[in-house]
Amino acid sequence: MAKSIGSVRVTDHDPTQLGRQFKKRLKEGKVQLGGMVFEYVRPSLVKLYRLAGFDFIYMDNEHVLMSGLPGTANFIQAARDNGLPVIAKIPELGRAETGRLLDGGVVGIQLPRTESREQLETLVDYVKYPPVGSRAGAPLFGNVDYQWPANSRQWLRDADDASVVMAHIETRTGLENFEDIVATPHLDMVYVGVFDFSISMGHPGGMDHPEVQKGMQHILDLCLKHNVPFGTTTPSAESARHWIRRGASFFEVVDELTLLAKGAAETVDMYREVIDENIQ
């Protein structure tokens, strides 16, 4: 139901439901699977990820020039329209990039190289509205599906409840400070970037190295103690099984570049095999 206040058209539509439902599923202990996107910010990829059964989308804005791509806002809105919450990694701790992504419609922000509680407290300040934080109100963009909320006070409360703050642990320093990090108020999720973590631990690419696994287990144990969902990316089903059995509750599973490379290689290999059979 819509009405007008002055020249502004308002509605009872709830734009925060997507984020709140996502957080509710995590709290209920349901393992959530995220489809990763690096470059192909197309609505078609949203559709394919939804059809595949992913629970959310993870956008990497650190390693690629995604924030400069003209289709990024359209991609985020397409995800919202298809019921897929978007978690976006920012390139570094900054108010402007955080605000733009949130106002564009992402439900959460993932902070790379999280190494201190102070960093997370600053991120919380950027993500949450007053009085918790200092985020600027902008209820007219993708964050409200371009429908001005009927009750601004209620919308601000609901938006804070729906927003996701995620720590990204990928260094030895983050591990050493993790007991302080995980106790940060308003922290919703913790992700371990296992490849960079293995580098920082002195075992580049050794994601199964005992020291790397021990560090990840320590992080998971503290997450369980503080009731904060823990997630990572695994190289195999067996590795995923290992972490799920120990309490992991979400995974950033695979990116579109890897899927394209794998699918293309498998298809070409199939044809090469048929060609070789006929030549012989």
The tokens for 10 are 């308002």
CA distance 54 to 81: 15
Predicted confidence (pLDDT) per residue in 134-171, tens digit:
999 989 899 999 999 989 999 999 999 999 999 999 99
Residue scoring higher pLDDT (62 or 67): 62
Is the pTM higher than 0.75? The answer reads: yes
Task: State the pLDDT confidence band at 245, using cuts at 50, 70 and 90.
Answer: very high
Sole residue written with tokens 């580049």: 204
Contacts of 132 (CB under 8 A, 6+ apart): 124, 160, 186
What's the domain count of the chain? Answer: 1
CA atoms 100, 101, 105, 108: torsion sign: negative
Task: State the pLDDT confidence band at 276, using cuts at 50, 70 and 90.
Answer: confident
Residue 13 is part of a domain; what is its CATH number?
A: 3.20.20.60
Domain that holds residue 193: 2-279
Predicted confidence (pLDDT) per residue in 91-114, tens digit:
999 999 999 999 999 999 999 999
